[in-house]
């Protein structure tokens, strides 16, 4: 069973740490699809840059992502 969730909400710490973060900025970055049965992440559900209003490409002046 798949569920969309924010990367911070993945229920297992070791999986959450292994995923990292998307290289984007905005309210809808870092959302992914999580398979509860296999405890795997098949793909990110939002593509960076596909909708600049919600998850835009990070500018080169940014200091990077931090959790």
User: What pLDDT, in 10s, does the model give residues 38-67?
Assistant: 988 999 998 899 888 889 988 765 555 444
User: If you average pLDDT over every residue of the chain, what do you get?
Assistant: 83
Nearest residue to 21 via CA among 37, 36, 38, 6: 6
pTM over 0.75: no
Q: What is the mean pLDDT of residues 5-28?
A: 85
Domain definitions of the chain by residue range: 2-57
Contacts of residue 41, Cβ cutoff 8 Å, sequence gap at least 6: 10, 15, 19, 32, 33, 34, 35
Answer for the pair 35, 42: CB distance below 8 angstroms, yes or no: yes
């Amino acid at each position: 069973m798949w569920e969309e969730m924010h990367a911070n909400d993945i229920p297992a710490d070791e999986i959450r740490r292994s995923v990292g973060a998307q290289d984007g900025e905005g309210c809808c970055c870092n959302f992914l699809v999580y398979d509860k049965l296999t405890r795997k992440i098949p793909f990110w559900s939002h593509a960076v840059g596909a909708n600049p209003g919600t998850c835009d490409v990070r500018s080169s002046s940014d200091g990077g992502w931090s959790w």
